Structure 1
Amino acid sequence: MVAESEHVLVTGGAGFVGSHLCERLLREGHRVTCMDSFATSDPDGVAELRRHNGFTVLEHDVTRSFPDLGDTRLVLHLASAASPRDYLRLPIETLETGALGTRNALAFAQRHGARFLLTSTSEVYGDPLEHPQREDYWGNVNPVGPRSVYDEAKRYAEALTMAHHRQHGTDVAIARIFNTYGPRMRADDGRMIPNFISQALAGEPLTIAGSGNQTRSLCYVDDTVSGLLALARSTLTGPVNIGNPRELPVWQVADEIRTLTGTASTVRQIPGAVDDPRRRCPDISLAQRELGWRPGVTLREGLRRTIAWFAAGSGAAA
């Protein structure tokens, strides 16, 4: 357990999930260092947080050795390109962040005797042959396809985290995050929710990749943050799935966004992405049993909040 006002390092802290995590930690009274290279994020994403005396932003590439940041009790390692658009644009950087960045973050945690939490991903399951996905499923991943730079970076990061734990006794935890959405996603992120919302607010067709029958399970960012902190504050090593077990086809998500925005936009199909998973849904029994965690924000409520945020930023009416 990290006591109030103790120092927490969040790598990738200016990103979508990272900024929400930093905000929650500051509200709880912690001192937070946000480390980010801003390769896929914007300093403006944490501009409001700079008003807190306990918040520090450090521009730094995690693939380089970490500077001395003083006593640190918790390291939350989120640094990574996360959207297909970003990791396909930065393939080698994504792999190096998963390998060298995780190595440096683990070494830093070991030096300080800090608990280390790796934010891994449901993508380690690939295009799963088991459904829903449990933590003991090893996955069905194409190691040489275009998405492999992200999938294998996270799989390697998990292996390195466990090797550090076994060899050095580092206190570690692994969270496998499923699709997360909410305010502060970039409009040009390339992922489904910001794409659909931006298109709906602009009155453009909502573009569905593939048939639209492929499924996703969507977890609102506040719930994801609660799950990550519950794991960080436990003694569990994991891996632990953090996601929403409600599974929906992509076309239904598009229809819900069209309804909530009141748009007249139509739906247009485009070619599907290579190695795009056909089904994605977490088994969260472990998180429920060991952490007492499950998501609480409904999809409709989460989408309302997210649409309102996008609408405010674009000047559109929803």
Structure 2
Amino acid sequence: MTVDKSWASRLADVAIYLTLSLSALVCIIPFLYIVAGSFATPQELAERGFILFPTQFTLDTYEYVLSTATIPAGLLTSVKLTVVGTAVNLLMTALMAYPLARRDLAGRGWIMYMVVFAMLFNGGMIPTYIVVKEAGLLNSMWSLILPGAISAFNMIVMKNFFQQLPEGLEESAKIDGCNDLSILFRIVVPLSMPVIATLALFYGVGHWNSYFSAILYMNDAEQWPVQVWLRQIVILSVGGFSESTESLESVPPPAETIKMAVIVVSTVPMLLVYPFLQKYFAKGALLGSVKG
């Protein structure tokens, strides 16, 4: 059975679609400009200024950015950091969120108070550096993972999601002889894939884009993630990018095209991962945030 809409309702639908379309264009066009500019020749970029589709494609900028051995090594380091760091984050977050989701936990209110306090306040950069140094984590990948192993906000989202699961499932599992860890990993986690996938995306993007912590804690340049190397390329692009062990003989592309190529290189890997998690993203973010 179809219901005829009034003219006012139809006009409202048109206005909504136009607003959403304009908002999408505002978000998409700048990125299309960055991608097109990274493939355009310097002459075309200088003449046309704003382009969405270059007439002459060139890969010179990408060859320049990816021509050194440090970039592939940095990409491998970033992949390792993202995979290992995200796994640690999800494990630690789940281990903390599950007991806090149980209303019979003694001292639950005080623990949540401290979690919220830690979400709003922290010790600062220098105390954190001293803690990392005294723990012997400098020049180690763990210095980029362990200090932020649990995000207070993400933990609260996961806790709220766990609270919405039927309590009868846990009671049945206990009758069958399962302990708390078995209930968490055999029942709760499989039923919580939407929120786990959502937080995996949050944590993964954070690790992939991280560069400041690596600058603070990693003195060995060979262990730098790709974001640090890309940052170095952008900083040194005016005078030409060179390394202590090798240098580029060709004339470097203009700094503007180098910046565009760097943005594309650092963004595309996460864009390739997102479609696999997209179906869980909206559901997990919504269900994990509607109840406390």
Q: TM-score range by the shorter chain?
A: under 0.3
TM-score (norm 2): 0.22
TM-score (norm 1): 0.21
Q: Looking at both structures, which has the greater relative contact order when contacts are Cα pairs under 8 Å and sequence separation is at least 6?
A: 2
Larger radius of gyration: 2
